[in-house]
């Protein structure tokens, strides 16, 4: 548990990390027909690429990534040129707004890049439309045990359609000033959600300060589930059954988990009074900075924000209470319309080598061994990766975006006393099942 980031790393990474902070909640475009195209043009393009390579002619390779990679692209291109001098690598940095929609439209039209970087939450939409090539034949010689839990987000019906280069996971931040003033020990390894509640009670002074920060605003769905999901999983509940065909938020386990989470606000009153309409970034984090909230979930970007703009804030961080934490990340995929599939797989496997990934990535690498390289051997990132290695993913089905909205509305109904926990959970399940039909 560390209070401050090393200044050397801050100088190199703060700007890049802050520029890339985002919470994706892009709606899936389910229901479209798969790409209906003859395999002949693709085979011709592949044959042409192979012929060019055999003749020693330059080989073209295109990649789409998020806009936050723009400054790093020249370094990646230069590094790859050293190992593959005959490849003309083009990496396009695209804004996240409309990213997946642009990819779907372009691939359905027969175009697109050779490699498409995809957030794990977008995988379901692309696989559902049959827009991605499987990876299984390409990874037979790879040891996948070193990858963080986000790797499972690229697997559908037992087939891999992507490999992750970036991971993320939640960690728990605690306000040392509030803990010290109350004489409460800092969280310890292996602590539970029952422990968190007891700590929160000791640090709550109604109307003045609160033990834990949660938010239930539909304006910030990703951060609602940042705190909710680990509680549901710790109680043995989940959002969907194993084959993701039925919502299970009305099971006894899920009901008790939601009773605990909403109870932080309704009965225990250890969460801020406005939590039902709060977001983590705009509401909870400022209260944490002002020493009015003692515990809050967040990612590495929060530490960068604290150290950059609030140097007097006395804080620490640790792995969340003993339970699977929420995890996420980005993966390399190869569209079905890729003109240079062999080159795409070759680049991805090169970039995913631990030593290359550790040196070239600007986000937390999805391989544990990669943290031995570059800037990533830092207590903050080690803590996040420790959480990410055993984390769990939210559903990757196309309906998940709409399901989140339903769940949050019912959470608000429970928190405002409009429904009982049981009724709210039953209504969540019914409405989500209507989407799944």
Q: Using one digit for the tens of pLDDT, what is the confidence trace for 13-28? A: 333 333 333 333 333 3
Stronger pLDDT, 384 or 282, i.e. the higher one: 282
DSSP category for residue 361:
-
Query: What is the pLDDT at residue 46?
Result: 55
Query: What is the pLDDT at residue 3?
Result: 35
Q: Name the pLDDT band for 160 (thresholds 50, 70, 90).
A: very high
310 contacts 289 by C-beta, under 8 angstroms = yes
Burial class (CB in 10 A: 0-12, 13-18, 19+), 55: exposed
Q: Is the pLDDT of residue 288 over 60?
A: yes
Q: Is the pLDDT of residue 30 over 70?
A: no
DSSP category for residue 36:
-
Q: Is the pLDDT of residue 55 over 80?
A: no
Q: Residue 216: which region, alpha, beta or left (left: phi > 0; alpha: psi -120 to 50)?
A: alpha
Query: What is the pLDDT at residue 52?
Result: 55
Q: Name the pLDDT band for 43 (thresholds 50, 70, 90).
A: low
294 contacts 201 by C-beta, under 8 angstroms = no
Q: Is the pLDDT of residue 418 over 70?
A: yes
What are the DSSP calls for 213-282, one per residue?
-----TT-HHHHHHHHHHHHHHTT--SB-TTS-SB-TTSHHHHHHHHHHHHHHHTS--S-TTGGG--III
Paired tokens of 18: 């802050």
Query: What is the pLDDT at residue 346?
Result: 97
Q: Is the pLDDT of residue 35 over 50?
A: no
**3-state secondary structure string, 151-199?**
HHHHEECCEECCEEEEEEECEEEEEHHHHHHHCCCCCCCCCCHHHHHHH
Q: Name the pLDDT band for 64 (thresholds 50, 70, 90).
A: very high
Domains of the chain: 59-169+327-393 (3.40.190.10), 171-319+398-436 (3.40.190.10)
173 contacts 181 by C-beta, under 8 angstroms = no
**0.85 exceeded by pTM:** no
Residue 331, SS3? strand
Q: Name the pLDDT band for 396 (thresholds 50, 70, 90).
A: confident
**Which range has the worst mean pLDDT, 5-14, 116-125, 150-159, 178-187?**
5-14
């Amino acid at each position: 548990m560390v209070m401050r980031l090393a200044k050397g790393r801050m100088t190199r990474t703060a700007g890049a990390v802050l520029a890339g902070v985002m919470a994706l909640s892009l709606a899936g475009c389910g229901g479209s027909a798969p790409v209906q195209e003859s395999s002949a043009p693709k085979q011709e393009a592949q044959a042409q690429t192979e012929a060019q390579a055999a003749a020693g002619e330059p080989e073209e390779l295109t990649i789409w990534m998020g806009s936050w990679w723009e400054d790093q692209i020249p370094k990646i291109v230069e590094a790859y040129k050293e190992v593959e001098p005959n490849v003309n690598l083009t990496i396009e940095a695209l804004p996240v707004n409309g990213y997946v929609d642009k990819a779907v439209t372009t691939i359905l039209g027969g175009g697109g890049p050779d490699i498409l970087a995809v957030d794990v939450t977008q995988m379901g939409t692309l696989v559902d439309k049959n827009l991605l090539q499987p990876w299984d034949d390409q990874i037979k010689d790879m040891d996948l045990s070193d990858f963080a839990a986000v790797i499972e987000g690229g697997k559908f019906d037992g087939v891999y359609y992507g490999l992750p280069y970036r991971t993320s996971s939640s960690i728990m931040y605690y306000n040392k000033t509030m803990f010290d003033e109350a004489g409460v020990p800092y969280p310890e390894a292996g602590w539970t959600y029952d422990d968190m509640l007891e700590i929160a009670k000791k640090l709550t002074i109604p109307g003045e300060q609160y033990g834990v920060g949660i938010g239930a605003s539909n304006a910030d769905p990703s951060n609602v589930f940042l705190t909710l999901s680990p509680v549901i999983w710790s109680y043995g509940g989940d959002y969907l059954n194993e084959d993701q065909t039925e919502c299970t938020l009305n099971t006894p386990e899920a009901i008790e988990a939601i009773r605990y989470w909403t109870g932080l606000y309704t009965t225990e009153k250890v969460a801020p009074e406005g939590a039902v309409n709060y977001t983590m970034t705009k509401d909870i984090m400022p209260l944490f900075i002002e020493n009015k909230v003692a515990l809050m979930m967040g990612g590495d970007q929060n530490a960068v924000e604290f150290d950059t703009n609030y140097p007097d804030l006395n804080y620490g961080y640790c792995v969340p209470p003993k339970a699977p934490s929420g995890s996420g990340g980005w993966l390399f995929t190869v569209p079905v319309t890729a003109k240079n599939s062999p080159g795409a797989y070759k680049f991805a496997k090169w970039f995913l080598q631990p030593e290359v990934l550790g040196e070239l990535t600007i986000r937390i690498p999805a391989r544990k061994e990669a943290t031995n390289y570059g800037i990533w051997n830092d207590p903050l990132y080690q803590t996040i990766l420790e959480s990410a290695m055993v984390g769990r993913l939210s559903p990757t089905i196309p309906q998940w975006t709409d399901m989140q909205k339903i769940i949050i509305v019912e959470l608000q109904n429970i928190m405002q006393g409009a429904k009982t926990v049981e009724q709210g959970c039953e209504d969540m399940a019914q409405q989500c099942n209507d989407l799944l039909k």
